[in-house]
Structure 1
Amino acid sequence: MSFGARSRVVLASLGTLGLSLAAAVSPASAADATPTTPTQLFNGYRNCSTDADRPTYLWARNGLDVEGVPGTTDTTGNSPVSVRYQVWPVTDPTQTTTVTRTYATPGFEAVANLPADALTDGQTYAWRAQTVAGTAASDWSAPCYVTIDNTRPASTPTISSPNYPPDVWNQGGEPVTFTLNANGADDVTGFEYSWQQDLPVIGTNIGDHGIPQPEDPYSVPRYFTRADAPGGSATLSLVPPSGAGLMTLWVRSLDRAFNGSAITSYSFRVGSTAPTVTPAVASPEYGKPTTFTLRPDAALQSKSPVVSYSVQTIGGQGGDTTIDVAAAADGTAKIKLALDGIYGEHLRVTSKSAKGWVTDAASWGISYDTTPTVASDIYPENGSNGGVGVPGTFTFTPKVKGVASYTYSFDGDPEVTVPAGAHHTASVDWTPASDGYHYLTVYATTRSGIQLAAYDYYFTVD
C-alpha cells in the first residue's frame, strides 16, 4: 500500500489513452458543440472543498495539480476541448492567475499545474474551472478552496509506553500501549507509524476516465492515527510483529497537508514466550504417526491465555505446511503427525494468546537415514576383490519400515527396479566387465510411493 506526505503516487488509467488521442486534433473542431461546466474537481489528487471555511490543505512547492472532467453537448463525437483554470487569493480576488489545459478529451480528467510562484505558503486560495470549445465557454464551476502548506511539522513526536519500558526485558503477552505526542508542533493532526523504518507513502489510485480515488489515510489504522486535537496526542495498542527480542516502532507526525515530520523511534525488549514441543516418544519412527504435546509459556499463560497454535512442518513429503490447532482451557494442545522427510523433518511452533499476542517460534527436529544398507559377498564397500567376469551378489536392506522395492544402477547405467522380498530386502547379481573403480547407486521406494534417499556404494574390481 502506498502512503506518505510529499510524494503523490498516481497510477495509470484508461484516461491516458484518451488524452493522447485528443492531442492530435485541434480544439477548434469542437466549435459546434456547447461546452458544459467541468465536474469531478480535484486538487493535489484530493477532493475539492467548496466550503471556504474548510479548505483542503495541500503541499504545492512544485505547483499544484488541479483537474476536472470537461464536457460538451455533443454526444456523437469526442472532439477535444480546452479547460481553463483560474486561481486567486481569497484575500484579494483581483490577483488572478489563469492556466489553460488544451487538447483535453470530454469525459476524462484534464490536469493542469497552477504554478508554484502564484501560491504562497500559508495563504488560502480559491480556484475554478470552465470548459472551452472553439469560441464558446461554459459557466465557471463553483470555486474550490485550498490552503498552501509547504512546511512540515517543526519537531519530531515523542513516544512513550507505560507497559513496555525501554531499558528492561519485558514479559510479552499484553499489546503494547504507546502514547504519541506532537511535542509542541501545533499544526500536527495525526501520526504515521510502522514496525518498519521505511514508512508507507501516501498516494492516490486513479480510476476510470482518470478520476482520482482519494482515501483518507486515517481510515487505515494499521499505519495512521488521528491526534485528539491539533498539536495533541494519540494512544495506540499494538501487537509486535514477532514475539521476542528487540522491537522498534517508527513514528512521524503529520500536519493537515500530510507533510511529515522527521522520523523518530521507540525501542524495547521482550523476553521469549515460545511454547514447548514434546513428542510422545523421544525419537519418533519414520512415517509412523506420533502425538506431539504443545504447552504454553507459563508466564504468558498467566498474563494472556493461549488459545491456539500454528504448527509449521518443514522438510516433509508434502512440502512446508502449516496447521492451526486450537488450545484447551489450560493452554495445551495435541497434534498427531507422521514425519516422512527422507532426510528428517522439523517443526516450527508459535502460540497465539487471547489478546492477540503471537509468540516467537519453538523448534523441534529429527534427522532420518532412509538410505538402504548395501552388502556384497565378493565386492566389499571401499575395498578391492573379485575380478573381471567374477559375479558378485549385492544385498539391499532397509533402515525404515514399509519398503516395497529398490531401484539401482551400476556405473550410471540405466536404472533397474526390483521388488523387496518377504523381509523387505532384495539381492541382485552383477558381473564386472572391466577391472578398476566401480560404483552402485540404490534407493528404496515405500508402499505409499515415497522415494527414499539414495546410497552410493564404491568398490574396486581386481
Structure 2
Amino acid sequence: MRSSGRPWRGAGALVAALVAGLVVVVPGTAHAAQQPNWATSSPVRWVTTDSKQPHKSITTGDARVGAWRDDRHHIGKSYFTFDLSRFKGTQLFTASLRTPEKAANDCTKPRSTQLWVVKPQERITWANQPWEITNIAPTANEDCVSPWVTWNVVEPIKKALERGRTEITFALRIAEPVQGKVEYGRTYDPAAVLSTTFNTPPGVPTDLQVGNGTCDPATNFFSDAQPAVSAIAHDADGTYGLEGRLAFWPVAAPEQRVESGLLWAGSGYLNGWFPAGMVKDGGVYAFAARTEDGFATSEWSAPCQFTADFTPPATAPAISSTTYRENGGPPGDGGEGIPGDFTFDAKGDEEVIAFEYGGLGFRGGRVNADAPGGKATVSITPTTDGPLYISVTGIDRAGHRSPGTSYRFWVRTTAPFVEVPLFDIGVPRDFVFTANQDGATQFVYQLDDGAEQTVPVGEDRKGRKTVTFTEQGEERHEIKVWTVNAAGTRSGDSERSFSVNLFRPDVEVDPWDGVVGQTRTVTVSTGRTGVVSYVYKVGDEPEKQLPANANGSLTFEYTPTAKGDFAMRVASINAAGVRSGWGTGEFLAEAPAPDVTSNDYKYEPGGAPGQTGTFTFSSPRLPVVSYKYKFDDEPWQSTTGTQVQWAPKKPGYHYLHVMGVTAGGVESDERSYMFQVKAALPVVTSPQYPDGGPVTARPGEPIEFVVTPALAGSREVLWNIAFNPPQVVPVGEDGKARFTVTLPSSGTFSLTVSSRTPDGVVSGNLERSYFVPQQ
C-alpha cells in the first residue's frame, strides 16, 4: 500500500473526502490540525473462477462474472484480496473499492453485479468457493459500462481489522436469480482500486531539551527566567499539519502545572518557553510534551527538568604565578616561549565551578575548578616579550560570570639581538648576534626559507656569521634568529629584513622604436667597481658576453631580426666572475604592413565580374624582397614583383590580404585591402509586362520572360520565384534566354534573375516584383 500525501487543506469539525467517485463524510474534531492521510492500493491477489473449469484458479486475462457462451455455457465469479496491514492501529475513515468495467454482454439489461465479503481462504476455484458473508450495496451508476463502479467497504474492513485480520477478500458476482443468464454477464478489469482515508495516532514526543542542556536538574542550570524548550514530534502519517501541547510545572508544586494551547509541530519539532513568572531562582522545574493530529492524541512524554539559577558569583577570583611576578618590571621574568604556571582561586565562592581567562601575548581558554569554590592551575607560554596581562572571571553552573580580575606581568626579552650589515653582491659581510637568553649555547638562524644553521655563543654572548650573496635574485631577504640553551629550551625569535645591492646596470637602447633590421645602439653604465665584462640577453636568444670599456661602461650595437616588443637584459661581471643583477632596457621592432593601391578596384563599386584589375604593393618603411598575398579565401601566393592581377568572379565586397617578407624571412604585419566589384545585371523583358503597359498576365496562363545578359561570355541564366530553388536556362545564339512562369492565382510575385559564364563568373542578382491581376 502506498501513501499518496495529504491533498486536503484547512481543518474543521467535518472533513469531506472525494475518493474514487464516492462522496463520504469523515468525522473529525473541533480543532483538527492535520487532515486525514490517504492511500490507494491494488489487489495483492485476484482470481476468476469458471464453472467449466471447476478446479482451476484463473489469474490471467480479464475478470469475468456471470454467464458467457462460446461452444459451452460458462458461469464465473472473480475474487480480489487486499492487504490491510497498513491500517493496523489506525483510525479508518473511508474505504472505497472501485471495480472498473470493460464490457457488458447486453446493455439493455440492468447491472446485476454484487460485491460480497467472503471468508478467508487460500485457494479459490469454482468447485471450492469461499463462504459469502456480507453483501455490499453499490453506488448508483447509470452508465452501461463504467470505470467507476464503486462500493463502500469501510465497515467490513473495520470489522476485519477488529478481528486482527491482515487481509480481506471480496467476491464480484452476478446476483443469484440471473447468474446463469448470458445477457446479464459482465467483464471487469482485474486492476481494482481500493481508496482509503485514515489516521495513524501520533507518537510520544522524544528528545526533550531545555535550551541545549540535558534533563538532569543536577547538571542542567539556567539563568533565563523563561527558558526555551523543544521536543521532536513523531507521526507515521508525516508531520505536515501536526500540532502539540507543552506542560510546565514546579517540581515541588505539581499542582501548579500549566498547559499551553495548541502549538505548531509541522516541522517535526515542538518549541516553546516556560510561562512568565513561574521560574524562580533556585527552583527545580519540569516540562513535558504531547502531540495531537486532530483525531488522536499521544501520551505525555516523560518530564525534562532543570534548576533555575539567577544569581552570579559575587567574588572576583585571585591570580598568582611563581614564574611571572605580578606588576614586574624590566628586565622581566621568564621569557617569550617560556611557560609559566598561573593559579586561579575562587576564594571559597562555591558558585564558581570554572574559570575563563584571556589576555595579551597568549591564547586564552576555560578551565574547571578542582571543586566548587576551589582552584585551577594553567600553564601559559607567552609568545612575545614586554608588559603583558591576564584577566580571569569565575563561571557558575548557569553560565553567570563573577567580577573579573586582571594580573599584569613583564616577560623578559630572550630573543637575540641581530646586527645586519649593508650587503653588496659578491662582497662578504658579517651578521653579529648577541644572546639574551640565560645559558644560551647556540644561535640558530634561517636565511629566507633555507635550512637552519647554527653558530656557537661566545663568552661575550656574541656570535658571528660571514655571508656572501653571489647569485642574482631578489634584493629583499629575511633572517630569523633564536638561541637554545643546554637543555634545548628555545628563546624568542628575532626577525629582520634587509636588502642586497645587486648593482643592476642602467641600460639605454637608441632608438627604442624602429623596424626589424634597423640597428640600435645600446649604452650600459654601472656604479659598480671592478667590472671587466658584461653579458646580455634578448628574449630567448642565447647570452652573449662583451668586454667592458676602461671606465667599466659598455657600448655596442644590436640589430633585431624579429618583430615585437623586446626586453634586453644586461648584467656586469667582475674579476671574480660574480654577476650583478640584471638591468633591463626595452625596445620595439616593428614590421609595418605594406601599402596596397589599385586604379581598377577601390572601395567605391567599379569594374565588373570577370574583369581583370591590377593591384600595386609598396613597403616604404620596411625593406622587403617579396610579398605574400591572397584574395578572399583563396590560398596564399608569393611574388617578387610589386604588382598582381586578379579577375573577380562575382560582384560585391572582396578582400586582398598582403604581407611583406624581408631578406631574413621576417613577415610584416598583414594589410587587408577591401574593394567592391560592380554587378553586371541582365536586362529582363516580358510580352505580358510591356513598357508602358497594359499588363496582360493572368492566373493560369504562361508568362514569358526574355533575359539579355550584360555579363560578357554568359551562357546560362538562373532564375527563381520567391524562396523556390533556382532554375537554369541556356543563352541562345541571339544572346538571350527565355522561360515561362504560370501562377495559379492573382497576386504579387518576386523574380530573381542572374547570368553565369562557363568558368563560374556570375553577374549578380536582379530582383523584380510583378503583379498578376484577376481575370
Question: When the two structures are superposed, what TM-score results if normalisation uses the length of structure 2?
Answer: 0.39
Q: What secondary structure, in the 3-state scheme, does the structure 1 residue paired with 2:392 have? A: strand
1:369 paired with 2:504, answer: no
1:272 paired with 2:413, answer: yes
Residues 369 and 291 (structure 1), Cα distance of their counterparts in 2 relative to 1, 3 Å cut? closer
Q: Quick one: distance in 2 between partners of 1:359 and 1:24? A: 75
Kindly indicate whether the alpha-carbon contact (under 8 Å) linking 1:325 and 1:335 is maintained by their aligned counterparts in 2: no
Aligned to 2:35: 29
RMSD over equivalenced CA pairs, Å:
5.0
Q: Quick one: distance in 2 between partners of 1:324 and 1:130? A: 68
1:421 paired with 2:545, answer: yes
Aligned to 2:290: 130
1:299 is aligned, of 434, 438, 444, to 438
Q: Quick one: distance in 2 between partners of 1:310 and 1:80? A: 71
1:359 is displaced (CA, Å) by 4.2
1:249 is aligned, of 390, 415, 427, to 390
1:64 is displaced (CA, Å) by 0.7
Give CA deviations for 1:271-330 in whole Å, capped at 9, x if unaligned.
Answer: 111146689xx666649999989896441648xxx9x968473xxxxxxx5x68498999
2:259 is aligned, of 98, 106, 123, to 98
Aligned to 2:595: none
Aligned to 1:232: 374
Q: Percent identity?
A: 25
1:86 is aligned, of 211, 229, 247, to 247
Q: Which runs of 5+ in 2 are unaligned?
A: 1-8, 12-31, 38-198, 511-519, 559-566, 573-579, 587-775
Q: What secondary structure, in the 3-state scheme, does the structure 2 residue paired with 1:41 have? A: strand
1:70 paired with 2:199, answer: no
1:189 is displaced (CA, Å) by 0.4
1:184 is displaced (CA, Å) by 4.4
2:401 is aligned, of 242, 260, 263, to 260
Q: Which runs of 5+ in 1 are unaligned?
A: 1-22, 200-221, 314-320, 379-390, 408-414, 431-440, 457-462
- Correspondence 1:3-14 to 2 at 5 A: none
Q: What secondary structure, in the 3-state scheme, does the structure 2 residue paired with 1:180 have? A: strand
1:183 is displaced (CA, Å) by 3.3
Q: Quick one: distance in 2 between partners of 1:105 and 1:122? A: 35
Q: Quick one: distance in 1 between partners of 2:482 and 2:428? A: 21
Aligned to 1:185: 349
1:263 is displaced (CA, Å) by 2.9
Q: Quick one: distance in 2 between partners of 1:285 and 1:189? A: 63
Q: Quick one: distance in 1 between partners of 2:418 and 2:422? A: 13
Between 1 and 2, higher relative CO (CA 8 Å, sep ≥ 6) is seen in: 1
Q: What secondary structure, in the 3-state scheme, does the structure 1 residue paired with 2:230 have? A: strand
Q: Quick one: distance in 2 between partners of 1:124 and 1:37? A: 24
2:222 is aligned, of 45, 58, 65, to 58
Give CA deviations for 1:36-56 in whole Å, capped at 9, x if unaligned.
Answer: 12222221222232xx5x251
Q: Quick one: distance in 1 between partners of 2:541 and 2:527? A: 15
364-373 or 119-128, which deviates more: 364-373
Q: Quick one: distance in 2 between partners of 1:264 and 1:328? A: 44
Q: What secondary structure, in the 3-state scheme, does the structure 2 residue paired with 1:273 have? A: coil
1:422 is displaced (CA, Å) by 4.4
1:148 paired with 2:312, answer: no
The aligned amino acid for 2:236 is T
Kindly indicate whether the alpha-carbon contact (under 8 Å) linking 1:101 and 1:111 is maintained by their aligned counterparts in 2: no
1:120 is displaced (CA, Å) by 1.2
The aligned amino acid for 1:224 is R
Q: What secondary structure, in the 3-state scheme, does the structure 2 residue paired with 1:262 have? A: strand
Give CA deviations for 1:240-294 in whole Å, capped at 9, x if unaligned.
Answer: 2x23111211211100012122332211001111146689xx6666499999898
129-138 or 356-365, which deviates more: 356-365
Give CA deviations for 1:54-89 in whole Å, capped at 9, x if unaligned.
Answer: 25111214x211111111123xx4423223222211
Question: When the two structures are superposed, what TM-score results if normalisation uses the length of structure 1?
Answer: 0.62
The aligned amino acid for 1:72 is D
2:211 is aligned, of 44, 47, 71, to 44
1:237 is displaced (CA, Å) by 1.4
Kindly indicate whether the alpha-carbon contact (under 8 Å) linking 2:10 and 2:35 is maintained by their aligned counterparts in 1: no
Aligned to 2:479: 347
Count of matched residue pairs: 360
Give CA deviations for 1:4-59 in whole Å, capped at 9, x if unaligned.
Answer: xxxxxxxxxxxxxxxxxxx999832268232112222221222232xx5x251112
Q: Quick one: distance in 1 between partners of 2:215 and 2:349? A: 26
Q: What secondary structure, in the 3-state scheme, does the structure 1 residue paired with 2:35 have? A: helix
1:445 is displaced (CA, Å) by 7.6
Give CA deviations for 1:216-252 in whole Å, capped at 9, x if unaligned.
Answer: xxxxxx6111111111111111112x23111211211
- Correspondence 1:321-400 to 2 at 5 A: 321=449, 325=452, 342-350=474-482, 359-374=491-506, 394-396=523-525
The aligned amino acid for 2:288 is R
Q: Quick one: distance in 2 between partners of 1:356 and 1:251? A: 32
Q: Quick one: distance in 2 between partners of 1:87 and 1:232? A: 35
Kindly indicate whether the alpha-carbon contact (under 8 Å) linking 2:211 and 2:227 is maintained by their aligned counterparts in 1: yes
